[in-house]
Amino acid sequence: MTELAAYHQTAEQINGEMEQVKAAQNDPSCFAPLYTCYYKRIAAYIYHRIESKEEAFEIAAQVLYKALDNLSKYKAQGVPFSAWLFRIARNEINMVFRKNKAARIVDIDGEGAMELMANIEETKAEHQDEQLFEVLQELEEEEMELIDMRYFEKRSFKEICDITGMNESACKMKVYRILEKLKKKLKHL
């Protein structure tokens, strides 16, 4: 099951998962199935942003340790447990970037780049990857994160909102404003 397919759970699946969470809240040894279920997905999410497998696995373990450590504070809000985990992962990644003063990694190859370019339609095909890379480098950290999740990770607006804590209409508006910003920047290349 892919990360995105796993996100789109039925109410029954979410309720079953909540039973696992409640059991783990009462007995930390019951966290093992949740750890097993989410470790690879969290590691993949992190790896997509930092491109170091060792560091991604280390941060993923740290994310799940923090989740276990703070499990007593977790409250169900009608979204999959994974949204909470991805939010912790996002915060850990941002801490790594701040600590190391590192830049975000963006892989613009493939289907995501084509979909993004279809939404901004301003470049000639022979130069589109180079031009897209150039304008993406000029985006703010939060802007790049939204574009990355929407176009390169193929996340729904709902999922992006669950991870970032934004409301859905604000998230959509920000993404569309970023697309307009990219269009303007591409016109000037």
Which comes out higher in pLDDT, residue 172 or 136?
Answer: 172
Which stretch of 89-98, 104-113, 146-155 has the lowest confidence by average pLDDT?
104-113
Q: State the amino acid at position 50 in one-letter form.
A: I
For 3-100, CATH number? 1.10.1740.10
Q: Which two tokens stand for residue 102?
A: 């590192």
Q: Tell me how far apart the alpha carbons of residues 75 and 63 are, in angstroms, rounded to a whole number.
A: 17
In terms of pLDDT, which residue wins out, 61 or 4? 61
Please state, in angstroms and rounded to a whole number, the distance separating the CA atoms of residues 163 and 78.
13
Dihedral over alpha carbons 80, 84, 154, 145 (to 10 degrees): 160
pLDDT of residue 130: 76
User: Which of the four pLDDT bands, split at 50, 70 and 90, describes residue 54?
Assistant: very high
Name the average pLDDT for the chain.
83
Taking residues 122-145, report their average pLDDT. Answer: 74
| pLDDT, tens digit, 9 for 90 and up, residues 13-53 | 778 889 999 999 999 999 999 999 999 999 988 988 887 88
What CATH number has the domain spanning 111-187? 1.10.10
* Position 1 pLDDT exceeds 50: no
Mean pLDDT to the nearest integer, 54-58: 92
Place of tokens 């276990």: 68
Cβ–Cβ < 8 Å for 151, 116:
yes
Contact at 8 Å (CB) between 71 and 25?
yes
Give residue 14's pLDDT: 79
Q: Which run of H or E residues covers position 5?
A: helix 3-7
| Domain segments of the chain as ranges | 3-100, 111-187
pTM over 0.85: no
